[in-house]
């Protein structure tokens, strides 16, 4: 008897066609920049540069944040395009102080996609001019949010999202949920994807369009990918797996913290930006939890919702330190499955293993 394996389908977003239905999550403050994004694009996925504190290594980041971040984002997009002919996107958080300027920069650089979350990007289509080819993909955590965006975009701009990313509570970094919802089965990713698919289906029927839905948050292997595609999703977004790759733009010590992590090392913190966040437990976070305050002056003003006066530390500085491998002075955000990472591999090896897992899941 011959067993027939099923290849992963392509992911189509507007005129863009990705050979694999895999989007690399945008990981801010220097974790996913042109190095990682171009490697993912070359391997058949969609590579994503993170806009959050893109200019963290610029000399004038503390004195001229707007220009530093926009300059760095433009440079990273250009560098990625020099290394790949594949699909490259950027992730720009709505909560960023310089959100509008970062969006304008990305569009001017002709980036393929803008992923926008951490708030509802209600005015995002307003930045597009006639002839722009950049596709717009909101990141949501509920069907209601997807419906609000569709209604607002169509009424104001005659435009509908080119795709949606649905991010569940097992994601790393800042989470769009209340703390008590993170472990509530009602908010599991499967339920959220079904909810958004139902909302999108009605929009598609009304307007005669196709809006791909991409599942994100805790997606780890090829079997997970297959499960969500069978549910009706068109693709998945993965962040944690791409941290433990040679091409990831973070320091080796940052990557090794994933390899060394145990299940009990995953913890949910209250971020200075006012949202819960999932991170790897370390002494820095334990000190914060015990009430230790690290005096600082806010040098970046990177997030609109940050409250420096009452925050125990500067999240921009903490994440910048972690990116450099200085984990005594910062911490690493990570998804709920980070403890399953056992080695650092190349992006190509990772993508091959995901394809193999997917194939075997059909047996």
Output DSSP code: residue 262: -
Judged against a pLDDT cut of 90, whether residue 310 lies above it is answered with no
Which pLDDT value is given to residue 3?
A: 46
Of 107 and 315, more confident: 107
User: Residue 152 CB: number of other CB atoms within 10 A?
Assistant: 17
Report d(CA 137, CA 161) in Å as an integer. 6
Q: What is the dihedral of CA 170, 223, 89, 320, to 10 degrees?
A: 40
Domains defined for the chain, CATH in brackets:
11-250+342-360 (3.20.20.70), 252-329 (no CATH)
| Number of alpha carbons in the 13 Å side-chain half-sphere of residue 236 | 29
In 316-341, which positions are buried (b, 16+ CB within 10 angstroms) versus exposed (e)?
A: bbbbbbbbbbebeebbbbbbbbbbeb
With CA atoms as reference, report the closest residue to 166 among 111, 241, 217, 242: 217
Q: Using N-to-C axis directions, what is the helix angle for 189-207 and 222-231, rounded to 10°? A: 40
- Average pLDDT, integer, range 264-289: 89
pLDDT-above-70 percentage for the chain: 93
SS3 assignment for 188-235: CHHHHHHHHHHHHHHHHHHHCCCCCEEEECCCCCHHHHHHHHHHCCCE
pLDDT band at 62 (very low <50, low <70, confident <90, very high): confident
Strands 135-140 and 87-91: unpaired
pLDDT in tens, 74-113: 999 999 999 999 999 999 998 887 899 999 999 999 999 9
Report d(CA 175, CA 172) in Å as an integer. 7
- Average pLDDT, integer, range 125-148: 96
Judged against a pLDDT cut of 80, whether residue 200 lies above it is answered with yes
Q: For Cα atoms 92, 93, 97, give the angle at the middle one, nearest 5 degrees.
A: 105
């Amino acid at each position: 008897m011959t067993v027939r394996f099923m290849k992963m389908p392509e992911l189509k977003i507007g005129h863009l066609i990705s050979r694999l239905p895999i989007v690399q999550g945008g990981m801010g403050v220097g974790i996913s920049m042109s190095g990682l994004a171009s490697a993912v694009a070359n391997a058949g996925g969609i590579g994503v540069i993170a806009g959050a504190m893109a200019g963290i290594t610029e000399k004038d980041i503390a004195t001229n944040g707007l220009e530093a971040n926009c300059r760095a984002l433009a440079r990273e997009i250009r560098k990625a395009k020099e290394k790949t002919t594949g699909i490259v996107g950027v992730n720009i958080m709505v909560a960023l102080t310089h959100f509008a300027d970062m969006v304008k920069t990305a569009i001017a650089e002709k980036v393929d996609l803008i992923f926008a979350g951490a708030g509802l990007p209600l005015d995002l289509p307003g930045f597009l001019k006639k002839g722009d080819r950049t596709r717009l993909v909101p990141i949501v955590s509920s069907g209601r949010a997807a419906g609000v965006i569709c209604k607002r975009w169509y009424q104001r701009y005659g435009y509908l999202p080119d795709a949606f990313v649905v991010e569940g509570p097992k994601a790393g970094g800042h989470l769009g949920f209340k703390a008590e919802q993170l472990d509530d089965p009602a908010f599991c990713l499967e339920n959220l994807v079904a909810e958004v698919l139902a909302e999108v289906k009605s929009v598609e029927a009304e307007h005669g369009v196709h809006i791909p839905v991409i599942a994100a948050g805790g997606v780890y292997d090829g079997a997970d990918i297959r499960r969500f595609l069978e549910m009706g999703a068109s693709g998945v977004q993965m962040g944690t797996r791409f941290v433990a790759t040679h091409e990831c733009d973070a320091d080796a010590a940052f990557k090794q913290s994933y390899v060394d992590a145990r299940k009990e090392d995953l913890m949910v913190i209250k971020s200075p930006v006012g949202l819960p966040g999932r991170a790897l437990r370390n002494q820095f976070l334990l000190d914060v939890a015990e009430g230790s305050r690290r005096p600082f002056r806010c040098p970046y003003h990177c997030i609109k919702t940050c409250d420096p006066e009452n925050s125990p530390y500067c999240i921009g500085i903490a994440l910048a330190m972690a990116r450099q491998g200085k984990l005594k002075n910062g911490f690493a955000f990570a998804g709920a499955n980070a403890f399953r990472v056992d080695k650092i591999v190349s992006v190509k090896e990772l993508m091959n293993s995901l394809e193999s897992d997917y194939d075997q899941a059909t047996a």
